[in-house]
Chain A
Amino acid sequence: MYEFSYHKASSLEDARSTLATAEDGKLLAGGMTLLPTMKQRLAAPTVLVDLTGIDMAGIEGKGDNIVVGAMTTHAAVASSSLVQQTIPALAALAEGIGDPQVRNRGTIGGSVANADPAADYPAALVGLGATVVTSKRSLSAEEFFTGMFETALAEDEIITAVSFPVPEAAAYQKFPNPASRYAIVGVFVAKTANGIRVAVTGAGGSVFRNAEMEQALASNFSPDAVKNIAVDSSGLNEDIHASAEYRAHLVGVMASRAVAAM
């Protein structure tokens, strides 16, 4: 790992100003992606701004929403009785991230800010129509995720919470990479107050909705309604684990499994 200086932020403003004056500053949440990346020298920030000193962990119900603080770990989401009762699909998704040690340290804010194309949380955010709350504003999940490892966050903007509207029903199914547990393809299906939403992670450069499946499920909510909807493989991810065509096929399979699980 290249040399850097570590700063434990005492407040959001402290974090923001440290980041703003650093030559190449990075925010450190759980560090489950950033630290391994730095160890491999694929990232070399000059300053790490640790957010753990700022009180941003915790889960609470606010009206029809479940608000998860940015520094809440995956383990905390998975074991939260509030999440288990209101959005069990979200608790199950968190329980399936990485391994126990990753879940003990990794945070929802860190995962969302990293916007890994194969991460699980983006599917839940877009599938449930969540709102990302930052130090500057609130924006919809669809506005937030802009591309592969890219988000709408400004350089000095910090995620403080994610607010999930409680759906009527929801389920997430993923086909995990057997080594990393990242989603080769993961599909989140939700029946929400604003209709049915189908969000896909792992398949493309960034999470996306599938309108055709959403319409099919609106008229016939059954696994068969989505199983045979052809997904165009052009532009989908391709690597040693799965071809684009294989991923395209998996979208239908995971969507039908998710519907069956609801």
Chain B
Amino acid sequence: MSVSVVMTVNGEVVAKHVEDRTLLVEFLREHLRLTGTHVGCDTSQCGACVVHANGKSLKSCTALAVQMDGAEITTIEGLANGDVLHPMQEAFRQNHGLQCGFCTPGMVMSAVDLVNENPDPSETEIREWLEGNICRCTGYHNIVKSISAGAKAMREGDPT
């Protein structure tokens, strides 16, 4: 079965035909070629595929594209302002918040959702929030540090 979906992805309206069973992550990666959103586990555990739908984080491997008809989606590609990184991306860069980088898009998207909800999260709150994001390299220490710094930069209204 084929169905047409219309959604706003990173500010642009896109209309496509998809199969009913097409996952949001497949739609983003294969139909729109937005490959910054990763598939790590495909079992809804790792969080490499986290994007925002209507401002809230979700695992794009665990939603159908058709469910997102009419939604506003933001992916990692939609965070930066041209060549200027989003403060959370910049914080990951400055604080060595990644090694291989595979989990990073999901980490950053999840972190931005956290800070939108809780502008000044404690270390414990950050660690609890990352329950749905798995990193196999860094041991999380620098990720937590990055998110803390990114939250501060977002609070201070970094013009990016």
Q: Chain A residues in contact with chain B, CB under 8 A? A: 1-6, 8, 28, 31-32, 35-36, 39-40, 48, 50, 52, 75, 98-102, 104-105, 179-181
Establish whether residues B129 and A100, one from each chain, have CB atoms under 8 Å apart when the complex forms: yes
24 pairs across A/B with beta carbons < 8 Å?
A: A2-B21, A3-B20, A4-B1, A4-B20, A6-B20, A6-B66, A8-B66, A31-B62, A31-B67, A35-B62, A35-B63, A35-B64, A36-B44, A39-B42, A39-B44, A48-B20, A98-B131, A99-B132, A100-B132, A101-B57, A101-B58, A101-B110, A101-B132, A104-B57
A99 to B57 Cα, complex, angstroms: 11
The answer, yes or no, to whether B98 is at the interface (CB within 8 Å) is: no
Report the nearest B residue to A102, measured CB to CB. Answer: B132
Query: Looking at the complex, which one of B23, B47, B62, B66 makes contact with A105 (CB distance below 8 Å)?
Result: B62
Are A36 and B1 CB-contacts (below 8 A) given A3-B21, A31-B62, A101-B50?
no
Contact residues in B for A2 (Cβ distance below 8 Å): 21
Count class of interface residues, chain B: 20 to 34
Docked pose: A4 CA to B22 CA in angstroms: 10
Q: Which of A98, A101, A180 has the most CB of B within 10 A?
A: A101
* Interface of B toward A, CB cutoff 8 Å: 1, 3, 19-21, 23, 42-45, 47, 50, 56-59, 61-64, 66-67, 110, 113-114, 129, 131-133
Q: How far is the CA of A75 from the CA of B117 in the complex (A)?
A: 11
> Is the CB–CB distance between B21 and A4 below 8 Å?
yes
Instruction: Give chain A residues whose Cβ lies under 8 Å from the Cβ of B21.
Output: 1-4, 6
Bound complex: CA of A6 vs CA of B21, how far in Å? 8
With a CB–CB cut-off of 8 A, which chain B residues contact A48? 20, 64
B118 to chain A, nearest CB (A): 11
Find out whether the CB atom of A3 lies under 8 angstroms from the CB atom of B19: yes
Number of A-B residue pairs at CB separation under 8 A: 75
- Taking CB atoms, residues of chain B closer than 8 Å to A99 are 47, 131-133
Beyond contacts A3-B20, A6-B64: 6 other A-B pairs, Cβ-Cβ < 8 A, are A3-B19, A3-B21, A48-B64, A99-B133, A101-B58, A104-B56
A148–B20 CA distance with the chains assembled, in angstroms: 30
A18 to B129: give the CA distance in the assembly, Å.
38
Identify the 8 closest CB pairs spanning chains A and B, nearest first. Answer: A99-B132, A99-B131, A6-B20, A36-B44, A104-B56, A5-B1, A101-B59, A1-B21
Within the assembled complex, what's the spacing in Å between the Cα atoms of A101 and B111? 12
| Interchain CA distance A66-B1 in the complex, whole Å | 41
- A181 and B62 form a contact (CB under 8 A): no
- CB of B134 to closest CB in A, whole Å: 9
